[in-house]
């Protein structure tokens, strides 16, 4: 399925969001656990962040993930009145930020009752490290140190909202961070064996992970940019990319499994024909997967096998 990468438009739902927010809460800030079961109501823009909220919040949170299906594209998603209602009732909202999930940010802005909001891209501090003139890679959930920082921030915010269970949130965040350390160790092992190895990508989605593994992306930038935007690259750029596989210049192709275009299909076919492994990664949790660490572990294992 070819998914166009276009800016999200919410249109009339901003008014709907404001109306529902006014109905959902009479105050200006959601600071209490207002779920019917006494749990803290949390909204996450995607199920990636929803899974991390559950890891930290455990049985004390009620999480709604707006993007909860691999077929939904955050870049194109159009919100529903149910999404607006969920945000209006939330005590805490987690967004990726940096333009990735503008639909969620707009829902928060439209809500009369302002929930505590975590902007993960902002929390990461990674934008400040981007050299002048270079694009920021907004796919920060592939940056493991940022996910540890997110867990710590979640524990702090949930502890303020629900002080009675603050110690549980802190302990859960520490346990989650230890599991992230296991992923980091796996990437360190890849780096020790393959530091500097060249790989190709279809989109910038997994770059933080690949960099942590010591791998070098040699894909023409204009190819991955075009693929991310849902456009076809110039013919010369496509040929330059295909040459990576004909010449066996790369050890693996890391492909975004959730987007497909004629050019990305052609690149995958070229890799397969050359006997170069294709590692498929995703932007959201695959069907049947509910745990962030397990998901990343599976992808790191696939990358490790591909590099041999």
Q: Mind giving me the DSSP string for 174-226?
A: HHHHHHHHHHHHHHHHHHHHHTT-EEEESSSTTHHHHHHTT-EE-S-HHHHHH
Does the CA dihedral 72-255-181-97 come out positive or negative?
A: negative
Under DSSP, is residue 141 helix (H, G, I), strand (E, B) or coil?
helix
- Where are the chain's structural domains? 13-182, 184-307
Same fold flag, 13-182 and 184-307? yes
Locus of tokens 């829902």: 107
* 243 contacts 224 by C-beta, under 8 angstroms: no
pLDDT higher for 17 or 280?
280
Which strand (E) or helix (H) includes residue 118? strand 114-119
Mean of pLDDT values over 124-152: 96
Burial 100-126 (b: 16+ CB within 10 A, else e): bbbbbbbbbebbbbbbbbbbbbbbbeb
pLDDT, tens digit, 9 for 90 and up, residues 232-244: 999 999 999 999 9
Strand 92-95 to strand 114-119: parallel, antiparallel, or no bridges (unpaired)?
parallel
Phi, psi of 268 (to 5 degrees): -60, -40
Q: Which two tokens stand for residue 39?
A: 């749990």
Q: Which two tokens stand for residue 289?
A: 């997967």
Rounded Cα distance, 272 and 67, in Å = 31
For the chain, where are the alpha helices, taking DSSP H only?
13-24, 47-57, 81-89, 102-110, 120-124, 144-161, 166-194, 207-212, 221-229, 235-246, 262-273, 292-307
Rounded Cα distance, 57 and 172, in Å = 7
Mean of pLDDT values over 80-94: 97
Lowest mean pLDDT among 73-82, 179-188, 243-252: 73-82
Rounded Cα distance, 149 and 308, in Å = 32
The pLDDT assigned to 34 comes to 55
Rounded Cα distance, 251 and 271, in Å = 10
Q: Is the pLDDT confidence value at 20 over 70?
A: no
Structural domain 13-182, CATH architecture = 3-Layer(aba) Sandwich (3.40)
Structural domain 184-307, CATH architecture = 3-Layer(aba) Sandwich (3.40)
The pLDDT assigned to 48 comes to 98
Tell me the pLDDT band of 75, cut-offs 50, 70 and 90. Answer: confident
Q: Is the pLDDT confidence value at 6 over 70?
A: no
The pLDDT assigned to 74 comes to 85
Distance of alpha carbon 79 from the chain centroid: 18
The pLDDT assigned to 37 comes to 81
The pLDDT assigned to 1 comes to 34
Tell me the pLDDT band of 36, cut-offs 50, 70 and 90. Answer: low
The pLDDT assigned to 259 comes to 87
Rounded Cα distance, 264 and 261, in Å = 5
Mean of pLDDT values over 191-195: 98
Phi, psi of 244 (to 5 degrees): -60, -35
* 30 contacts 115 by C-beta, under 8 angstroms: yes
Count of residues making up the chain: 308
Closest-CA residue to 180 (of 210, 140, 142): 142
Tell me the pLDDT band of 168, cut-offs 50, 70 and 90. Answer: very high
Mean of pLDDT values over 93-113: 95
Q: Is the pLDDT confidence value at 9 over 60?
A: no
User: Across all residues in the chain, what is the average pLDDT?
Assistant: 90
Tell me the pLDDT band of 35, cut-offs 50, 70 and 90. Answer: low
The pLDDT assigned to 239 comes to 98
Tell me the pLDDT band of 2, cut-offs 50, 70 and 90. Answer: very low
């Amino acid at each position: 399925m070819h998914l166009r990468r276009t800016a999200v438009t919410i249109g009339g739902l901003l008014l709907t969001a404001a109306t529902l927010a006014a109905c959902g809460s009479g105050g200006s800030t959601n600071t209490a656990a207002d779920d019917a079961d006494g749990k803290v109501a949390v909204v996450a823009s995607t199920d990636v962040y929803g899974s991390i909220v559950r890891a930290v919040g455990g049985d004390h949170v009620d999480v709604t993930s707006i993007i909860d299906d691999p077929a939904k594209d955050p870049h194109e998603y159009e919100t529903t009145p149910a999404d607006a209602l969920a945000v209006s009732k939330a005590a805490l909202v987690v967004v990726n930020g940096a333009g990735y999930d503008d639909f969620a940010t707009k829902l928060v802005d439209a809500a009369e009752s302002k929930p505590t909001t975590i902007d993960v891209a902002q929390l990461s501090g990674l934008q400040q490290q981007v050299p002048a003139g270079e694009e920021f890679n907004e796919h920060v959930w592939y940056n493991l140190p940022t996910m540890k920082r997110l867990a710590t921030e979640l524990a702090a915010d949930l502890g303020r909202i629900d002080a009675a269970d603050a110690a549980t949130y802190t302990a859960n965040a520490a346990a989650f961070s230890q599991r992230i350390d296991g992923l980091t160790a796996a990437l360190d092992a890849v780096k020790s064996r393959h530091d500097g190895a060249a790989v190709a990508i279809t989109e910038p989605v997994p770059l933080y992970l690949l960099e942590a593994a010591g791998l070098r992306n040699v894909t023409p930038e204009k190819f991955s940019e075009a693929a991310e935007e849902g456009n076809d690259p110039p013919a010369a750029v496509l040929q330059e990319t295909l040459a990576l596989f004909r010449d066996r210049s790369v050890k693996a192709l890391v492909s975004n499994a959730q987007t497909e275009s004629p050019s990305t299909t052609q690149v995958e076919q070229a890799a397969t024909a050359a006997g170069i492994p294709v590692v498929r990664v995703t932007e959201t949790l695959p069907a049947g997967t509910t745990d962030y660490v397990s998901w990343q572990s599976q992808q790191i294992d696939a990358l490790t096998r591909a590099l041999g």
